[in-house]
Each structure stands twice: as C-alpha cells, then as structure tokens.
Structure 1
Amino acid sequence: MKILWAICVLVISSSVMASTQTATLNCDEAYSTLEINQCAEDKLALAEQQLQVYLAQSIHQNSADKALVDAINIAQKQWLLYRKTECNAVYTQWQQGTIRGVMALSCQLAITQQRTLTLWQHYLRPMDSSTAVLPMPIVDNE
C-alpha cells in the first residue's frame, strides 16, 4: 500500500511540475528542443480547439440539410486522415534530426488552420453583407 501511495504522489507531483513548466514557458524565448516542441504542441492544441468550434458551428448552421451535414462529417474524417498521413511524411523527411517533431507539428498546425478557414469560407461566411456568426479565422504564415 505504501508503494502504491508513493507512486501516486510521484505521478501527481510530476504532472503538477509539468503543468507549471508549461504555464511559465515563454515561447518567444524557447530554446531547447523540448521547449520548442511544447510551444508547437500548445499552438496546435489551440488551433484544434478553434477548428472544433468552427466545425460544430458549420454543422449547427446547416442542420436543416442532412445531406450537407453528412457530407461535412465525411469530409472531416477524410481530412483527419489526410493530415495524419501528410504530416507523417513530413516527420519521415526529417526523421534523422531533432527538428522532426516540430516540423510535423508545424505541418499539423498549418493544415488545421487551413481547414478551419475552409470551413468558414464554405459553410459560415455569409454571401450578403451580414455579419458572420464567427469571425474569419487567422492562418499563420510562419
């Protein structure tokens, strides 16, 4: 029982330390591979959250058209497969270097941001002069 308790304490303290490091990490000054990768992971997580908002709104806004909603869902599944295979290819291209992780993450970020923009352009942008429910997403060109 003491061993189990010690393991729990170690796991909890490790996760607290990791979250504290992430919270204090200044990505503008990231230097090590671990810091750069963490910053890239954090940026990708935010882009994926934004994508989910735009996807959900696309589906909600077009909910009266079942065929369109089904088509959006199918496209999303195929897009996820495309992103995975494309960014795995990028990872493979850089497999000999420590840069491979950030290159694959950068690939995922760019493709995710582009997908969010595509959703907005096709399903959320009003064709008249009315205001869109969600703003046009920003795509980084880094």
Structure 2
Amino acid sequence: MKKIILFSLFVLLTPLAQAQSLCPMTNADAMQACLDEKLQSAIDEMVSDLTMIKQRHAENDALLKSLELSQQTWDAYRKTQCLNVYQTWQKNAQQQAVTASCAIELTRQRNQFLQDYYLK
C-alpha cells in the first residue's frame, strides 16, 4: 500500500516539478504568466519552422497536404492530452500550471520532430 501511495505522489509531483522548473516563481500569477509566455514562444518557434518547411517544399503538393494533415492531427492530440492533464489535476491549485507545462512540452517535442525530419 505504501508503494502505491508513493508512486501516486511521484506521478502527481513530476508534472508540477516540471512546471516549476520552467518558471521557478513562488507567486502563482507570476508563474502562470511565465508559463503562458513560454508556451507562446514555443508556438511561435513551431510556426516559424512550419513556414520554413512550407517554403522549402513549396513545389511538393503531396508533402504539403500531408504535413497540414499531420499538423492538424498533432494539434488535436495535444489538446486532448493536455485536457486530460487538466482533468487529472482538478481541484488542485496548480492545475493551470501543469496544463500549460503539458502544452509547452508537447509543442517543443513537435517542433524538435519538425526540425529533425524536415529541416536538416
């Protein structure tokens, strides 16, 4: 029973620790503002890379259509995954921070994938 409780605490604290490592503020409002800024930065970087990919492959209609579909599918995945995180952290003061952290992490992962497979 102790192992289950410890594991549950670890699973819940890891996303919170990630959010706090992104924005190590003690004030919840300042932390949320910082996380929102980091999320917007990650989104802007991804949009910039998508623009470069589209320019680089402008003559390949099949690739562009496939890329658009994969981006839409990824966006739906990100929204669903982070909604699940939001629901998991219901009734917790850090719900918004952990949800923003989810979106930041997934956006950064997607951007890294785009860079690795389309821009190198």
- Counterpart in 2 of 1:96? 91
- Counterpart in 2 of 1:51? 46
TM-score between both structures, scaled by the size of structure 2: 0.78
- 8 Å Cα contact 2:57-2:64 kept in structure 1: yes
| 1:114 to 2:109 alignment | yes
Residue 37 of structure 2 aligns to which amino acid in structure 1? D
Paired positions, count: 99
Deviation at 1:28, TM superposition (A): 6.0
Mapped to 1, the partners of 2:105 and 2:87 lie a distance apart of 17
List per-residue Cα deviations over 1:43-84 (Å, max 9, x = no partner).
101111000001111111111110000000111111111100
| 1:77 to 2:62 alignment | no
- Percent of aligned pairs with the same residue? 26
Residue 67 of structure 1 aligns to which amino acid in structure 2? A
Residue 54 of structure 2 aligns to which amino acid in structure 1? I
Deviation at 1:98, TM superposition (A): 1.1
- Counterpart in 2 of 1:105? 100
Unaligned ranges ≥5, structure 1: 1-26, 126-142
Mapped to 1, the partners of 2:74 and 2:50 lie a distance apart of 12
| 1:32 to 2:27 alignment | yes
Mapped to 1, the partners of 2:23 and 2:110 lie a distance apart of 26
Deviation at 1:30, TM superposition (A): 2.1
- Counterpart in 1 of 2:59? 64
Mapped to 1, the partners of 2:56 and 2:32 lie a distance apart of 36
- Name the Cα RMSD after superposition: 1.4
Mapped to 1, the partners of 2:118 and 2:51 lie a distance apart of 11
Unaligned ranges ≥5, structure 2: 1-21
Alignment of 1:9-28 (within 5 A): none
**Stretches of 4+ moved more than 4 A in 1?**
none
- Taking a change above 3 Å as real, the CA distance of residues 100 and 49 of structure 1, as seen in their structure-2 partners, is same
